[in-house]
Amino acid sequence: MNREHELTRLAQQWEELTIANDRMFSMVMENNAICRELLRRIFPELAIDRVQRVTVQKQVNTPLDARVVRFDVYIRDDQQRTYIVEMQVANRQNLQYRLRYYLEQVDHSILGPGDNYEKLAGYPTYVIFFCDFDYYGQDRPEYRFEWRCVDQPNLTAGTGQQLVVFNARASAFHDKIGIEGFLKLMHNQIAAGDPLVEQITGEMKRIKEDPERRRNYMKYELDLMDARSDGMAIGLAEGKKQGIQQGLEQGKQQSIIAAAKMLLDLKLSHTVIVKQLMSAYDLSSDEAERYLAQARG
């Protein structure tokens, strides 16, 4: 497949990106007005006035031997409430553990060495996942969790933490009309008359017309394809010695390792690289981790 054909395909792919693509989602959420309106619809009870800080692809400083996390969108409002917002299309069967780890990592970003635990009282935390699958299998558009007493559910632990998981595959949205338009937009369905949806589609149009963003996207994808091709070529050469089938398998492995090395050269975080390898090669998290370890040498 020649370079010109690949460029044409990537240009079309860029134009067809939807809000469910985590890169497009992150770019759209750089718009503070959209961030604020989306949060207001999720949490009307919080009466959010202003969004003070929006950081996309935020990496949290963790101990050197800990797994690094990079959040799609990290938001802080004028009341020091922290929101982590993630777009999740593929069901990796580990969502509950990601939620657990994300809560811990948010606290790492707030509590510094020598700080008292009481500092956390001023920083309520909300972790939100927009999923294109029904992880909990109850056909609910929204699942909301917090720490409560098992024997007395109306008694909360008071940690100031809340987990919210949206299911874009719900058969009905019931009273969640405020967020219905966004969930339908994940499937590229436009809810007419919804101001938030109009804002988001307008922002996506502006992003797609930005030549610099388009160029960066296409360069990234081309570099990734080159890494795959280089790895496959190495494997096929090896296959002349070991047999074609074994060579093809070797080629796949070398392709993944080459891609991992290219992503390392781009200075991407551990978490982002693992995520990209899982998506590009249909790997489990453990498999992607092993290939990345080999790429690091």
Same domain? For 48 and 90 the reply is yes
Residue 4 domain flag: no
pLDDT at 280: 72
Point out which residues pair with 139 in neighbouring strands. none
In the chain, how many domains are there?
Answer: 2
DSSP string of 10-77? HHHHHHT--TTSHHHHHHHTT-HHHHHHHHHHH-GGG----EEEEEEEEEPP--TTSPP-EEEEEEEE
Torsions phi, psi for 231 (to 5 deg): -65, -40
Residue 150 lies in a domain: yes
pLDDT value of residue 237: 54
Verify that 172 and 285 share a domain, yes or no: no
8 occurs within a structural domain = no
Would you call 266 exposed, middle or buried from its count of C-beta atoms within 10 A (0-12, 13-18, 19+)?
middle
Q: Are residues 37 and 68 in the same domain?
A: yes
How high is the pLDDT of residue 81? 96
Same domain, 125 and 248: no
Q: Which residues of the chain have pLDDT under 70?
A: 1-2, 61-66, 175-177, 226-251, 266-267
| Element of type H or E holding 292 | helix 285-296
- Are residues 197 and 84 located together in one domain of the fold? yes
Given 208, 242, 276, the domain boundary residue is 208
Position 12 in a domain: no
Q: Are residues 188 and 122 in the same domain?
A: yes
> 208, 234, 254 — which closes off a domain?
208
Pair 115, 228 in one domain: no
Residues 263 and 227 in one domain: yes
Domain that holds residue 143: 17-208
Based on the domain organization, do 162 and 30 belong to the same domain? yes
